[in-house]
Amino acid sequence: MDYDAIILGGGAAGLMCAARAGQRGKRVVVLERAREPGKKILISGGGRCNFTNIHTAPDRYLSRNPHFAKSALSRYTARDFLDLVERHGIAWHEKTLGQLFCDGSSRQIVAMLMEECARGGVELCCGVEDTAITHADGQFGVGDCRAPALVVATGGPSIPKMGATGDAYAIARRFGLKVVEPRPALVPLTLGGDDVLFRELSGVAADVVASAGKAAFREAALFTHRGLSGPAILQVSSYWQPGEPIGIDFAPDRAEGWLLEAKRAAPRGDLRGQLRTLLPERLAATLAERLALPGDLGNLPDKALRKAEAQLGGWRFHPNGSEGFAKAEVTLGGVSTGDLSSKTMAAKAVPGLHFIGEAVDVTGWLGGYNFQWAWASGVAAAEAI
């Protein structure tokens, strides 16, 4: 069977690419290994799919080449995807920080993409087990399908339990493309050593500023039985380098000198009581114990209070690892952008071979940015097929 394009992988990027190429009059087949398409879309955003972010901008993506994502993101914007959602009558809301979710269910987004594919006459084959690729005379072949274009949209290896694979990397290497070492990203971090005591706080959350290197995020952090999670931690996990500490500001709204101020205002109060005004009880107790400044604030030297303030503003944790691909929302690294055209997502050295979505070394922040990259890179490839 002859097509204009074979799309390997019926996830977010593959379905978007197929729909757009089909609607441009191309004969397109999507070959999906799982029994149904868009499985990660279905589980995303707690079942409501955080489908884009209105603050999408290239600086919210990590890549060896920070400029690579600019072209695709500027040609297919969050507004473009929102228009599509609205055309399909899907009700949505902004949750926080520009994150747009379905009011109903992620299923609506998959149904929308399927309808768009149907409008483009796209053929979708699920449960395809043998996806070995042949390439001869400018034609790609997978099973019985042949086409001059092959779009690899097989995602990354995060959450292998759901059938996620690193197949894109093997395909890239086979065609001579480089792969930036894949690493789990948007992933909980584990604590050991001295920090292990904090695991006792499992279930406690606080509004903090978490930082790794120069990156800093103000959101919730959550203590878990293995270490640290919550949006602030997931965000910094993408920037964290093994062996490096991460910083947490437990008092992001307090101005410099706030503990000295508290000493003057309430000299008979104690540090734990002060911490309780900004943090949950158990966390306040643990931090106060660690700071080891018992007794009335009025009896504590200013110097000690200044030091405590500095510690609270930049508490250092030393993660001993992450919870790995089993728990990572996305993959950092992937097919090297140096070997791809940012306009068409095509391999520079292999005409007709495209890579899109999470397979590529472009990783977004938490909050709808990764789907926006999937949509935008899918459209970029579709327009070039």
Question: Minimal distance in Å, beta carbon 131 to ligand FDA?
Answer: 4
Please state, in angstroms and rounded to a whole number, the distance separating the CA atoms of residues 240 and 350: 34
Whether residue 369 contacts residue 328, with contact meaning beta carbons closer than 8 Å, is answered with no
Asked if residue 351 binds ligand FDA (CB under 6 A), the reply is: no
> Which of these ranges, 4-12, 79-87, 214-222, 237-245, lies near ligand FDA under the rule CB under 6 A?
4-12
From the centroid of its chain, how far is CA 285?
Answer: 33
What is the pairing mode between strands 92-94 and 99-102? antiparallel
Instruction: State yes or no: residue 40 binds ligand FDA (CB under 6 A).
Output: yes
Determine the residue type at 352: G
**Contact positions with ligand FDA (CB under 6 A) in 359-378:** 359, 368-371, 374
Residues of this chain, 42-81, that bind ligand FDA according to CB under 6 A: 43-45, 49-50
Count the neighbouring beta carbons within 10 Å of the beta carbon of residue 15. Answer: 30
Provide the pairing of β-strand 28-31 with 50-53: unpaired
Q: Hey, which residues does 364 pair with through a beta bridge? A: 61
Residue 141 CA to residue 145 CA, distance in Å, equals 6
Put residue 25 in one of left, alpha, beta given phi > 0 → left and psi -120 to 50 → alpha.
Answer: left
Q: Which stretch binds ligand FDA (CB under 6 A): 157-165, 224-232, 273-281, 306-314?
A: 157-165
Residue 131 within binding range of ligand FDA, rule CB under 6 A = yes
The residue behind tokens 């009896």 is: 299
The answer to whether 20 contacts ligand FDA (rule: CB under 6 A) is: no
For position 153 contacting ligand FDA by CB under 6 A, the verdict is yes
Cα 39 from Cα 370, distance rounded (Å):
15
Nearer of residues 160 and 203 to ligand FDA, judged by Cβ:
160
Number of residues forming the site for ligand FDA (CB under 6 A): 38
Indicate if the alpha-carbon torsion angle 231, 51, 5, 162 is positive or negative. positive
230 lies in the binding site for ligand FDA (CB under 6 A): no
Is the CB of residue 70 less than 8 Å from the CB of residue 120?
no
Shortest Cβ 8–ligand FDA spacing (Å): 5
Residues 330-349, mask of contacts with ligand FDA (x by CB under 6 A): x-------------------
**Which range touches ligand FDA (CB under 6 A), out of 34-42, 191-199, 296-304, 347-355?**
34-42
Report in angstroms how near the CB of residue 326 gets to ligand FDA at its nearest.
10
Residue nearest to ligand FDA (CB): 11
34 binds ligand FDA (CB under 6 A): yes
Site string for ligand FDA, 158-187 (x = CB under 6 A): xx---xxx-x--------------------
Decide if residue 358 touches ligand FDA (CB under 6 A). yes
Strand pairing of 5-8 and 149-152? parallel
Neighbours of 355 (CB within 10 A): 32
- At 225, which amino acid appears? H
Using a 10 angstrom Cβ sphere, with 0-12 exposed, 13-18 middle and 19 or more buried, the burial of residue 144 is: exposed
Closer Cβ to ligand FDA, 155 or 230, answer by number: 155
Regarding 12 and contact with ligand FDA (CB under 6 A), the answer is: yes
Q: DSSP string covering 60-82, please?
A: GEE-SSTTTTHHHHHHS-HHHHH
Out of 63, 108, 154, 235, the only residue in the binding site for ligand FDA (CB under 6 A) is: 154
Residue nearer to ligand FDA on the CB measure, 5 or 159: 159
Provide the binding-site residues for ligand FDA, judged by CB under 6 A.
8-14, 31-34, 39-40, 43-45, 49-50, 131, 153-155, 158-159, 163-165, 167, 329-330, 357-359, 368-371, 374
